[in-house]
Amino acid sequence: MIFVTVGTDVPFDRLVRVVDEWADRRERSDVFAQIGSTEWKPARLAYTRFLAPDEFMRRFAEARLVVAHAGMGTILSALRCEKPILVMPRHAALGETRNDHQLATARHLSTLGRINVAMDDAELRSQLDRIDELKAREPIGPYASPELIDTIRRFIVNGHAPASGHPLGRSAGPR
């Protein structure tokens, strides 16, 4: 199953429409979407507006691919559960969000090789056509690293960043 989620706070008509049209053209019946307050009514996709947390996690666990907005909660869940994820960030210029924080998140995590990203409708269709090539990325643990926790603790206690200037308190160069 392909699980599509747009989160619960803001509609994302463009994402739902593109996946619905793709599924219709490809005659896919294995796509389920959580569409929130999105106005687009899917013609092909099985969908619901909202899911209870346990039902969301069940569908997430059953998915072979997660398609989503570039929300950190969904991205972290995919990395933690070792699920392939394809994100399409909302764009402020299209009125989908107040600012382009999702674009920045998607670019950064894509550069790190952590997620698959489609920046626009055409790229989303293209990546969906290559669904079998989309792989899960390196998983993450459920907790912050000891280095990050220590850096935050020192920042709170000392009121400033570590002397090295690196966010984890070590040199950014080779060891």
CATH superfamily of 2-133: Glycogen Phosphorylase B; (3.40.50.2000)
Of 41-50, 95-104, 155-164, which range is least confident?
155-164
Using CA atoms, how far apart are residues 58 and 19, in angstroms rounded to an integer? 21
What's the pLDDT tens digit per position in 71-81?
A: 999 999 999 99
CB 70 within 8 A of CB 105: yes
Answering whether pTM is above 0.75, one says yes
CB 36 within 8 A of CB 11: yes
- Give me the helix-helix angle, 101-111 and 72-81, nearest 10°: 30
- The domain ranges of the chain are 2-133, 143-175
What's the pLDDT tens digit per position in 88-118?
A: 999 988 888 888 999 999 999 999 889 999 9
